[in-house]
Structure 1
Amino acid sequence: SMWFDALGNRLPTPLFPGFDTLGTLEHLTKTGFDYSWFALTQRIIKREFALSGSEQNPDLTNKDIGLLLQRVVSKSGPAPVEAFKEHGADFVVASNLTDLVQGMNALTDAPRLDPVKLEREITARDREVDNGLTQDQQILAIRAARRYLGDRLIRVAKPHRLLDPAAGPLIAVRLRILTRKTLGGLQTDLSGRVLRADGMPLPGLYAAGEVAGFGGGGMHGYRSLEGTFLGGCLFSGRIAGRAVAAALA
């Protein structure tokens, strides 16, 4: 996918999908808008879009090899992804760029995207796909990722021109800025007791997990990874639980 801000400017290197999320967030918040855009094709969405949750990945959840192989051979993406593409409020699908931009502008409070500007950005990128000596860092990164067989077969689409009708239809997705995690807020002692501003325990109140700093931030630091939160949350929960049991014994 190509990533554009609300005004149709391609995000700079290395702010590509799946790269420096925190850097991308910092960049987008400086644009003055709380959303941005992915521009992609059907060929990309069927490989590279994944939804969170076991119910959204029936091939993996049910260990269905046949269904998993459809990601490779089918022109459609997984059924949950296709449902989002068809019904999602932030998805726009069109057969040409003019109609795509018109649909994108219809989702916002003002028509901020210029189809000529967006076509210029996409065409410049498309030219680099056929250039064996390209210096487009996103294309180089995609080629590097596809050296791994698993990514090449299932997860990363082969670089292609976005405006190639054979790869279509064109798809745009509006991305909104949000936070999904509690980044701390309650200070606790080593028993999980919540501390007041004066440093004394608040009687009967214990905290664990993300709200106690065991999620993003806190013990995990500034650029914490979501998948690492669980261990600290479980550990702090055990500490707090044992402390409560001891206090009630």
Structure 2
Amino acid sequence: EASSRTAVGGFEFRAAGTVVASGGIGGNLDLVRKRWPTGRWGPAPEDMVTGVPAHVDGRMIGISESAGANLVNTDRTWHYPEGMHNWNSIWPGHGIRIIPGPSAMWLDAAGQRLPSNLIPGGDNLAALSHIGRTGMGYSWFILNKTIAAKEFIFSGSEQNPDLTDKSVKKLLSKLGSGMQVAVQAFMDHGEDWVIADDLSSLVKKMNELVGPDKPQVDEAELRRQIEDRDSQIENKFSKDYQINYIRTARQYLGDKVVRCAAPHELMDPKHGPLIAVRLSVLTRKTLGGIETDLAGRCLTNDGEVLPGLYAVGEVAGFGGGGMHGQNALEGTFLGGCIHSGKRVGEQLKYTLPKAGAGA
């Protein structure tokens, strides 16, 4: 549950240096929509899920701007198209990202396969742009139980107890042939998951899930697309881009063992049941924000230092007001947080008055 925004009192602190480290805007869907780059991604989706807690609401960005700080690159954000509603939410609108392997078929809201350059687990922002330009803010993964067991992992510390608990035993359990506990939980409880033994039943459930006011997936057209894909599995010179991609991925032993199922027909009962997952846009990273110099000092709109105000991490676009560009991201995005925090800490250490020195 989000903290109350009702003021119950007031207080005041004064300091020679104030550091803003409040994060981005991903928990504030109204602000996300306001800054949505419609020229690149099409209209902002009506429905999104939040990949960060409600307190990451961008409030301190506005407060800093009111104090004189300049904002830059405010249209640069990084969201994911493979989000889904968490069946066991920790915060309002809590979304979980699927981090997929390459085998699921990816469809737009109307049931059309995404273009050949958009493979699950590939170029996130290109997929986000394509889906956004359809005018619908959601898409579908079509897969089966074998693919879900082998290729699906989820973002979020609570979804990965093997890593949070530093348990080698739990990590090794993911290498087995069975279904992971986290994936099974979404199969059982996830509101975006549809499961059926045959394609007719699957399509019916997909259309019921979105309702009659949304595009309806046509069973015959979806069957044709799946059969076209599956017809190339036995062809050593496959003409299907996704089958070729899967084969290439499996040449790397790590992906073959852990992340990539052997090519097979999606509707083969041995690999069933069939699964469809409705995917929503998941908000995540804010790549622009408060402009600073290399020491993390906030700048005004004329490039002058704003005395006493500093910004670090995501609120400053991970450094300076945007260190990544609009279509590139440093691997973990923690590097910019750590480095900008270090630079501000050093600046404060050497420039602020020492305690007892008349300050």
Superposition TM-score, scaled by structure 1 size: 0.90
Give the structure 2 partner of residue 94 of structure 1. 196
Q: Shift in Å at residue 117 of structure 1?
A: 1.2
Q: Does 1:29 align with 2:125?
A: no
* Structure with more of its chain in helix, by fraction: 1
Query: Which string of whole-angstrom CA distances, capped at 9 and with x for unpartnered residues, describes residues 47-74 of structure 1?
Result: 1100123442344541017x62564332
Q: CA RMSD in A?
A: 2.0
Mapping of residues 13-162 of structure 1, within 5 Å: 13-60=116-163, 61-64=166-169, 68-69=172-173, 71-74=175-178, 77-110=179-212, 112-162=216-266
CA contact (8 A) 2:150 2:177 kept: no
Q: Distance in 2 between matches of 1:3 and 1:248?
A: 58
Taking CA–CA contacts closer than 8 Å with sequence separation of 6 or more, which of the two structures ends up with the larger relative contact order? 2
Matched letter for residue 190 of structure 2? G
Query: Which string of whole-angstrom CA distances, capped at 9 and with x for unpartnered residues, describes residues 157-186 of structure 1?
Result: 011101111100101111112330011121
Q: Distance in 2 between matches of 1:51 and 1:30?
A: 26
Tell me the secondary structure at the aligned position of residue 128 of structure 1: coil
Give the structure 1 partner of residue 346 of structure 2. 242
Matched letter for residue 169 of structure 2? D
Identity across the alignment (%):
53
Q: Does 1:4 align with 2:113?
A: no
Cα 1:248/1:166, change in 2 over 3 Å: farther
Q: Shift in Å at residue 214 of structure 1?
A: 2.3
CA contact (8 A) 1:71 1:78 kept: no
Q: Distance in 2 between matches of 1:83 and 1:244?
A: 47
Give the structure 2 partner of residue 196 of structure 1. 300
| Unmatched segments (≥5 aa) in structure 1 | none
Q: Shift in Å at residue 191 of structure 1?
A: 2.2
Give the structure 2 partner of residue 214 of structure 1. 318
Q: Shift in Å at residue 193 of structure 1?
A: 1.7
Q: Shift in Å at residue 133 of structure 1?
A: 2.0
Q: Distance in 2 between matches of 1:225 and 1:157?
A: 28
Q: Distance in 2 between matches of 1:194 and 1:69?
A: 48
Q: Shift in Å at residue 46 of structure 1?
A: 0.5
Q: Distance in 2 between matches of 1:59 and 1:68?
A: 9
